[in-house]
A and B are shown apart, each in its own frame.
Chain A
Amino acid sequence: MKIQRSKGTRDLSPQEMESFRLIESAFRDCCLKWGYREVRTPTLEYLHLFTATGTLTPGMLSKVYSFLDWDGWSGERVVLRPDGTIPISRLYIDSMAKEKLAKLFYVANVFMFEATGKKTRERWQCGAELIGAKPPLADIELVMLALEVLRELKIKGIELRLSHARLIKALLARMELSAEEQIGMFDRILDGDMKALEELKLKRPELEKTIDSLLALKGKPSGFSKELQKLFAEDLPECRPYIENCTRIAEFLEAMGYDYRIDIASGRGFEYYTGVIFQIFKAGEKIGGGGRYDALIPLMGGKDVPASGFALYLERLMDLIKPEALSTPQPPSILIRAESAREGFDIAGQLHKAGYRAECYLGVQKEADFDWTVEVKDKPKFIVTNQAKKQKATAQTVDELLALLK
Chain B
Amino acid sequence: MKTKKTKIALPKGRLLEETAALLSRAGWGLDGYQEQARFYHIESKTLPHLSARVFHEKDIPIQVAIGNYDLGICGSDWIEELLAKYPSSALMKVKNLKYGQGALYAASAGKVTIETLRAAGTIRIASEYPNLAEAFAINARLRRFSVFPLWGGAEVYPPESAELALVSATGQFPFSLVPISRTLSVSAFLIVNRESWKAKGLDKIVSSIEKALRPEKAAPTLKKEKRQPKAQYAATDKDVVRLALPDGHQQAPTQKLLDRAGIRLDDYPSEKGNRRPKINLEGVSVKVIRPQDMPLQVANDNFDLAVTGRDWLTEHLCQFPSSPVKELVDLKLGRVKVVAVVSQERDIADIRDLSESEGASPIRVASEYINIADSYARDNRLNRYRLIPTWGASEAFLSEDADLLIENTQTGRTLAQHKLKIIDTLFESTACLIGGTRQVASPAKKKRMESITKTLRRAAEEIR
Contacts and interface: CB of A to CB of B under 8 A. Distances in A.
Of A51, A53, A75, A77, most buried by chain B (CB within 10 Å of CB) is: A75
B109 interface: no
Contact of B135 (A62, A70, A73, A76): A62
B137 interface: yes
B323 interface: yes
Contacts of B122: 48, 76
Interface residues of A, number: 20
B87 A51 contact: no
A53 B118 CA distance: 9
B139 A70 contact: no
Nearest to B298: A73
B87 A73 contact: no
Q: How large is the interface on B (under 10, 10 to 19, 20 to 34, 35 or more residues)?
A: 20 to 34
A74 B126 CA distance: 12
Interface in A67-95: 68, 70-77
A145 interface: no
Given A70-B322, A71-B322, A72-B320, A115 B139 contact: no
B320 A70 contact: yes
Interface stretch (B16-24, B144-152, B269-277, B330-338): B144-152
B88 A115 contact: yes
B143 interface: yes
Given A51-B137, A58-B138, A61-B138, A74 B146 contact: yes
A153 to B, nearest CB: 35
Contacts of B321: 70-71
Contact of A52 (B143, B146, B322): B143
A76 B296 CA distance: 13
B320 A51 contact: no
A66 to B, nearest CB: 8
Contact of A51 (B145, B148, B319): B145
B124 A75 contact: yes
A183 B139 CA distance: 11
B300 interface: yes
Contacts of B135: 62
Interface in B121-180: 122, 124, 134-135, 137-139, 141-149
Contacts of B149: 75
Contact of B320 (A58, A71, A77, A115): A71
Contacts of B148: 75
B299 interface: yes
A61 B147 CA distance: 16
A68 B137 contact: no
A48 B143 contact: yes
Given A68-B319, A115-B88, A75 B146 contact: yes
B320 A73 contact: yes
B144 A48 contact: yes
Nearest to B122: A76
Contacts of B296: 73, 75
A58 B140 CA distance: 9
A51 B143 contact: yes
Interface string B177-212: 000000000000000000000000000000000000
B139 A58 contact: yes
Contacts of B124: 75
B141 A51 contact: yes
A51 B143 CA distance: 5
Contacts of B141: 51-53, 58, 183
A73 B143 contact: no
Contacts of A70: 319-322
A44 to B, nearest CB: 16
Interface string A109-120: 000000110000
A51 B300 contact: no
A53 B144 CA distance: 10
B87 A115 contact: yes
B121 to A, nearest CB: 10
A253 to B, nearest CB: 35
Contacts of B143: 48, 51-53
B147 to A, nearest CB: 5
Nearest to B124: A75
Given A58-B138, A62-B135, A115-B87, A73 B323 contact: yes
A53 B117 CA distance: 13
Contacts of A75: 124, 146-149, 296, 300
B352 to A, nearest CB: 24
Given A70-B320, A71-B320, A76 B142 contact: no
B128 to A, nearest CB: 14
A174 B296 CA distance: 48
A74 B296 CA distance: 8
A51 B144 contact: yes
Nearest to A7: B88
B147 A51 contact: no
Nearest to B87: A115
A108 to B, nearest CB: 23
A1 to B, nearest CB: 13
Of B87, B138, B144, B147, most buried by chain A (CB within 10 Å of CB) is: B138
A51 B138 contact: yes
Interface in B287-309: 296, 299-300
B327 to A, nearest CB: 16
Interface in A157-214: 183
Contacts of B323: 71, 73
A53 B134 CA distance: 15
A129 B146 CA distance: 30
B138 A76 contact: no
Nearest to B301: A74
A62 B88 CA distance: 12
A73 B118 contact: no
A272 to B, nearest CB: 13
Interface in B308-345: 316, 319-323
Contacts of A48: 122, 143-145
Contacts of A71: 320-323
A73 B299 contact: yes
Nearest to B322: A71
Interface in A30-78: 48, 51-53, 58, 61-62, 66, 68, 70-77
A70 B316 CA distance: 11
A70 B141 CA distance: 26
Contact of A76 (B146, B316, B319): B146
B135 to A, nearest CB: 7
Of A48, A72, A73, most buried by chain B (CB within 10 Å of CB) is: A73
B154 to A, nearest CB: 13
Given A51-B137, A51-B138, A73-B299, 10 more contacts: A48-B122, A48-B145, A51-B142, A62-B135, A68-B319, A72-B320, A73-B296, A73-B300, A73-B319, A75-B149
Report the 10 A-B pairs with minimum CB-CB distance, sorted nearest first. Answer: A75-B146, A115-B88, A48-B144, A73-B299, A52-B143, A73-B320, A76-B146, A61-B138, A73-B323, A53-B141
22 contacts: A48-B122, A48-B145, A51-B141, A51-B142, A51-B145, A52-B141, A53-B141, A58-B138, A58-B139, A62-B135, A70-B319, A72-B320, A73-B299, A73-B300, A73-B319, A73-B323, A74-B146, A75-B146, A75-B148, A75-B149, A75-B296, A115-B88
